[in-house]
Amino acid sequence: MTFWNYIARYRDKGPESVRLSMLPIEEYRQIISDVAEKSLGSKGWARGRGLEWSRRTNLTWGEGIIRLQTLKSEDLSAAWGIRLAFVPQSRPPSKRRGPRGGPALDLSYDPLDYERDTTTWALGRHASRRELREDTLALLERVHSEAKRWLRCCSDIEDLLDCFEQKKAKQALCFGFYNYPYEVLAYGVTLGLADRKGEGREEIGRALEDLRYSATEESALKTKIEDLWASGHGV
């Protein structure tokens, strides 16, 4: 339950209905970690680094991701998406960061970017241990349902391209499609694999303007992409 949920409860039911003490951050994260590990593990998701879980798709180049990420308030919120094995890397994955500081995905959905009621996608520290366990389990059930639907994006290249273009067309409240340059790069690579190389090069050029690689890195990356398109290797 987030701080704003408690404000709403205070307004609706009075001060006797709320407690504003916070769980220690270490205990807060441990409770969420334990509940998530049990909930997602039972559904076929494998624990990765930190509070991230992955699930393989039917094709070797796609992997589903569920992530619990830290907000400025130290509350945790959920995001999910896809990691693509065929997108060339020009620097170590640890250097690739998304807008909220987590490792960048190749296609992602963060409810805080698009959903008007963001309180339903975050877990606050203003909760009892029991409330936090219940809230975490309820959140993860919804997140799993949404993330599982995203696995269809990896059915084939055309489906993946459709998923990119749906996100591109979606109206953002916070960070929109072009605030995720690694995703724009992955979109450009996917366009080329769908035999739309001219559009792909335009999107890749746009991504590279934001990523600001060195000339050497940029040249090497473009060569890898052109080689991938020529061979279709990995898809």
Mean pLDDT of 99-107: 86
pLDDT at 233 (0 to 100): 62
Q: Please state, for a pLDDT cut of 90, what percent of the chain lies above it.
A: 71
Instruction: Quote the CA–CA distance of 82 and 154 in Å, as a whole number.
Output: 8
Q: How many residues does the chain have?
A: 235
pLDDT at 7 (0 to 100): 46
Residue 10 has pLDDT above 60, yes or no: no
pLDDT at 13 (0 to 100): 61
Instruction: Quote the CA–CA distance of 109 and 69 in Å, as a whole number.
Output: 12
Mean pLDDT of 121-135: 91
Q: What is the pLDDT of residues 151-196, one digit of tens each?
A: 999 999 999 999 999 999 999 999 999 999 999 999 999 999 999 9
128-146 core/surface letters (b: 16 or more CB in 10 A; e: else)? eeebbeebbeebbeebbee
Q: What is the pLDDT of residues 46-58, one digit of tens each?
A: 999 999 999 998 7
* Alpha-carbon radius of gyration of the chain: 20
Q: Greatest CA separation found in the chain?
A: 67
User: How far out from the chain centre does Cα 114 lie?
Assistant: 13
Instruction: Quote the CA–CA distance of 139 and 51 in Å, as a whole number.
Output: 14
pLDDT at 12 (0 to 100): 61
Question: Residue 37's domain spans which residues?
Answer: 3-231
Q: Could you tell me the pLDDT band of residue 5, with boundaries at 50, 70 and 90?
A: low
* pTM for the structure as a whole: 0.87
Could you tell me which of 124, 34, 117, 114 has the C-alpha nearest to residue 76?
124
For every residue of 124-169, DSSP letters joined together read -SSS-HHHHHHHHHHHHHHHHHHHHHHGGGGSSHHHHHHHHHHHHH
Residue 134's contacts (CB-CB under 8 Å, 6 or more residues apart) are none
Mean pLDDT of 2-6: 51
